[in-house]
Structure 1
């Protein structure tokens, strides 16, 4: 029915109901401040429309056109609300900029339509003209911005994808930050639900043939699926056992199952990762067929017949079959690696360790499967018993690969006291020491930085401080010394007794710093350590050169305990002639001599 045949009062009543409905719905869109502002403005417009209903509305062409325009814009706003109110929370985050821009545009358009309606009914709205003018001006000039925290998370994610940062550590960080930004607990069950919803968003984009969107969402899903929290550990174990059962029919000497012919891309000649099917049934790697068509070719790459329809669709059953084939090969290699490690033959063990590293590089699920199969415990045991330099170094590197960015594996290595064999490696040659210190540092980290619980456990190891000080002072690799110092400084923060242990191991600087700058109780404790140490002339001279004498002279004027300890320390230090001169230069002759 033509708009001019409908009574203007009816149009106004319908529009008012639509505004109220949209305003209420907009309040419920998940954590979107822009929708809440839109809702508030719509409720304000409701008051204007009700005022028009109470007065005799000017039934002019201009008024009808203004109402029609306002109705169209409100419908657009309602469509936006319906579009985003039940979307996956991860999807809302990655689309935050786009969503905010859409809401801003429709809010401004509603403001323009309200201004036109106001002009067409100046006399009727005279009583609330200031309110209407303020509202339409505010709406036309509105500027929405996405949450800064969400923008930062998205920008970090986007940059990481551009830089092809697909490692598990980055995946863990991004999943943790995204979950926090949208209010989802970082628990496997919750994350699985969110990722399932996110995958539905990708499937819907595919049905709309939005290729760029599909590709972008696939990248995000692939990255986040690598994270620890995205995997239910019981399901991981169940999947591994199923694959292990499937390879039992293969001879123990086999390490590779040849791919089936349908797995091979007819364009590239390699096993496909993302198989897609053409209308003819020919299957190709997605990237390969896109390049094929982009280069101007309009034929089927296998049959060479001209294609009238160049569309394609993902072949999920084939993709799953290829993934299963790959996983079976992973299991064969894990089984082979285990046999080589248990053989006791050093060349075989080195081969197994290389194989394990390759597996983890190829797919991070192998970090879990290697742990489940018990290979980690085996190589930790070999680390403690082997005297082969190359085997030790490669085990340390492999262990770092196993635990890097993987909270569960770190926990298991720590629980198995893996560092009982790692810490002594700090005293070996530079290549082994470097691998050991890097592994140790990785074990002490979690997503937020230092894992204080693990640091405390390491601090309880009697030999830890000794070996770390050795790496710092005697090591020939600068990077290893820097890492050792970082670890030591954190252990000092956790337990002051570690400073005393470091001094007894030959590193005096932290002890001197604490005597110079520490609180009274700490200074007394450090001086007591100094008094109880057996020091040769070279150590005494070093302590003097490092500046320990002035603060000791200062403490000599303190309480009885501080005075006694500082004088005892000064007396011992003064047995070195160089220090006698330093004491004299500091004005302490009357106290010591």
Structure 2
């Protein structure tokens, strides 16, 4: 920091210095957020500065005028903040490449500034300032964080620096190395790979180096010059004209005849011109590999002077190596410049020999390829692609591929030669060997924008590539696929590529093509048959945005093809959700609602797309972004109103849409809104619709709306006629789903006398029972039909009405219910058990007393025994006894199944056998049926309600001493566990458990468990 600045700061009052420092900290933090490199490191540093400013701002400004130690700390902070600000400004405005190659220096400066600021903060006399403990703790924590922080250059930056150092060390002159390095730098800095942008950055980098030279910073200047020399070899940093000018000047100065090999260029061992000459301790020079081989074989005498050699001494002869390289380069330039006329010879053998020589030179060094380009060989090689000799064509394709590889300028040169692409494409259709070479060359060329823009328009190119996609050679197929990926100009070839199931390049046309091309693309997506894989890929690659925009296009035909394309893509749930996310819903509803602007067919297709979108909302996974099709009550009302305003085709789509939405995560809200909108009234009317499809979908939706309603929906809109209609649908099934839904509606009807009477009057028991009996014999009946039928029967088995129960028994349904306890689903078992439980509640009163025999009869007739549970004569049809129905064993078995709902209802049915006033008989029956052990196990179920039922059962069972002795020990621990629970909502069952423990003599009457 300047001495004058320091003196100036010392004259500023401490309170004002404090304010200036806070402002400087915030300004520097703001600048640090705008850097173009080391963003993460500067983000951390910026956070430290803001925290520092916040703490400084909280320091008391009173009575600090004479605190010299505070002023000293603030002055140091001022100095370091100024240094940090300059660093941040440099990293915001200077050339990105320059900043990248200096990233280690920047990181080091950041680290130094952070440590210095931390040190200055630690000098603030907190005790003298009487600051709060919170501020003191925050300051100490900040200092520790700053000292602990280690800034690092990014991994990719370190990789680039390592590559630069290696290139300089090895004097790497390969253009491909420089190109890779430059592209890696561009990638790391977010710079476009376009040549103009790269050249601009490189020119700015050279300006930075000139500034370094002006500052006479010799070490940095030397380093920057070496980096620039390495990067200058890249294509993007030097124009083709500049390269060509230098080459021609050099070639014209060499003459026309190659120079003979000088004697000292030749290795005395191999007698070949040396590549890596090294000098031995005898002063003689040999090819490194040759002399090392001699040493490895134990020969330590000099091959020329025959004197012992020091095998550890092998000095590179750099001067000789450079002379050999210059000799080779001179002769190669002369050779390349002189053999071109031989390629135009009529003698095929001479042409092949020349091509072979040229191919070897091109493959040897990148520099040779550059000279071949400078000598304008490309048009000659393109001309040879029309030669009759296949080997000549193949050699030409190979050389062109070598020239094009990793060189943007060469790709453009080849592309711009008249008829070049057409000639190469023509070779695609020839013999497989030549076809592969042509494909490889086209693939290499397609990495150039110029070539890509032209290639798609070459007649036959797309179709030939389409045929190669299915080639038996996997590499050929992969190359053809990659080439198609690279193409961007497709125009009339859209449908040909689509038939080849290759869409990625085509999708660009949906947003960037002409209006006609966009229409063709959308029409193709609408009409072509697609696998699920391609549908997902098409959406992932960005097809939706342009298609959704087309929905609002002024031209009706554009709307139509867009809707058809969306329809073709939307039947996959992932795609449907993505359409909702990207905003397709609004434009689709607009088309659906505007009658005057849409054709009937278009509106039907729109309704079909909306249906697909609604289905997609029902399959959302936990990790998926949650989406909703209808956002407001108005949306729901508006869409549902179309059910009454449209024809059957749109009606069925809308009904299906709402049915799907009722199954979505927000389904309960949708159902509630529809009930509030009196949707049930409309659906009741549609249950009598002439159109079977509309009727079936109305019944399905109607069933959904009755699942979680409060019963008022039925009371208001469902009358006797509706019930008769539903039963008619069940009795004459055309559609299994419709039958199941009609049964579902019946099962959801409130259990009031009036509605149950309507059901009985309409012969509901017979119709429902027929569903169960037919369901067991006819495999076409689905699970849902049986489940809903069993649930519907619960209306007629209530113990408050013996007449209804008898009608069920007389219909022979009790044995069917018992069978369903074994063969049904968990849901079926649950409701079968409910019906059996309700029937069993009447058994005690319906059981007939056992007649007593006279004295003589006792002598001659065996005594009659009554039902072990009810002590009377029981029959299935008359007393509905579950023992007589053989239901005991399956009910007990269900107690041990995993479904707690079925276990609970089975327990309810069994509990009807141990009535409170006389539980002994029933308890013995349960013991003989091995039901008591499963009941004890259910104490650990976790369901408070089920535990309570088990406890009530055990309280009655343990009234028998023999059962108490038999099962008391196994019940002890579960009972203690329940009695010791602390939750307030299970106080009642805790008390019940304690009472049973008293029964078992395991707890005193005055226990605190009560």
Task: Tell me which interval the TM-score lies in, with the shorter structure as reference length.
Answer: 0.5 to 0.7
Give the gaps of 5 or more residues in structure 2. 1-5, 268-272, 279-317, 507-519, 530-567, 569-599, 606-1010
Give the TM-score of the pair, scaled to structure 1: 0.56
- State whether structure 2 residue 472 is matched by structure 1 residue 479: no
Question: Between Structure 1 and Structure 2, whose CA radius of gyration is higher?
Answer: 2
- Which of 437, 440, 457 is 1:438 aligned to? 440
Counterparts of 1:48 and 1:12, CA distance in 2? 21
Q: Give the RMSD, CA atoms, in angstroms.
A: 6.0
- Which of 138, 152, 155 is 2:159 aligned to? 155
Q: 1:105 deviation in Å?
A: 4.5
Counterparts of 1:35 and 1:502, CA distance in 2? 49
Spell out the pairing of 1:104-123 with structure 2 (5 A cutoff).
104-115=111-122, 117-118=123-124, 121-123=125-127
Counterparts of 1:193 and 1:324, CA distance in 2? 33
Moved more, 421-430 or 372-381: 421-430
Q: Deviations over 1:339-377 (max 9, x none)?
A: 432344444434443444444455434444322321111
Counterparts of 1:228 and 1:330, CA distance in 2? 22
**Secondary structure in 1 aligned to 2:342?**
helix
Counterparts of 2:241 and 2:378, CA distance in 1? 19
Match of 2:408 in 1: 407
- Which of 370, 373, 378 is 1:371 aligned to? 373
**Secondary structure in 2 aligned to 1:247?**
coil
Change (3 A) 1:478 1:217: farther
Q: Check the 8 A contact 2:454/2:489 in 1, yes or no.
A: no
**Secondary structure in 1 aligned to 2:233?**
coil
Match of 2:645 in 1: none
Spell out the pairing of 1:207-356 with structure 2 (5 A cutoff).
224-248=231-255, 250-251=256-257, 254=258, 327-356=329-358
Q: Deviations over 1:118-142 (max 9, x none)?
A: 2xx3344335986676456425413
Q: Check the 8 A contact 1:397/1:435 in 2, yes or no.
A: yes
Q: Deviations over 1:194-224 (max 9, x none)?
A: 25756998999996599xx96x995x65663
- State whether structure 2 residue 135 is matched by structure 1 residue 138: no
Counterparts of 1:196 and 1:259, CA distance in 2? 44
**Secondary structure in 2 aligned to 1:186?**
helix
- Which of 125, 128, 134 is 2:129 aligned to? 125
Spell out the pairing of 1:175-194 with structure 2 (5 A cutoff).
175-179=182-186, 181-182=188-189, 186-188=197-199, 190-194=201-205
Change (3 A) 1:263 1:237: farther
Counterparts of 2:58 and 2:324, CA distance in 1? 62
Counterparts of 1:320 and 1:47, CA distance in 2? 67
Q: Check the 8 A contact 2:244/2:374 in 1, yes or no.
A: yes
Change (3 A) 1:97 1:484: same
Q: 1:180 deviation in Å?
A: 6.2
Q: 1:229 deviation in Å?
A: 0.7
Higher relative contact order (CA 8 A, sep 6+): 1
Match of 1:394 in 2: 395
Change (3 A) 1:352 1:221: farther
**Secondary structure in 1 aligned to 2:458?**
coil
Change (3 A) 1:191 1:224: same
Counterparts of 2:265 and 2:208, CA distance in 1? 31
Match of 1:383 in 2: 385
Q: 1:40 deviation in Å?
A: 4.3
Q: Deviations over 1:372-406 (max 9, x none)?
A: 3211111111122x222322212111111111222
**Secondary structure in 1 aligned to 2:406?**
coil
Change (3 A) 1:73 1:338: same
Q: Deviations over 1:72-94 (max 9, x none)?
A: 99499679959987987434314
Change (3 A) 1:130 1:509: closer
**Secondary structure in 1 aligned to 2:424?**
helix
Q: 1:262 deviation in Å?
A: 11
Counterparts of 1:221 and 1:477, CA distance in 2? 44
Q: 1:423 deviation in Å?
A: 1.3
- Which of 49, 67, 71 is 1:57 aligned to? 67
Change (3 A) 1:13 1:481: same
- Which of 106, 126, 130 is 1:99 aligned to? 106
Give the gaps of 5 or more residues in structure 1. 1-8, 276-314, 528-550, 552-556, 563-593
Q: Check the 8 A contact 1:360/1:401 in 2, yes or no.
A: yes
Q: 1:152 deviation in Å?
A: 3.5
Change (3 A) 1:558 1:368: farther
Q: Check the 8 A contact 2:163/2:181 in 1, yes or no.
A: no
**Secondary structure in 1 aligned to 2:253?**
helix
Aligned length in residues? 447
Change (3 A) 1:322 1:88: farther
Counterparts of 2:9 and 2:260, CA distance in 1? 72
Q: 1:436 deviation in Å?
A: 0.8
- Which of 483, 486, 495 is 2:490 aligned to? 495
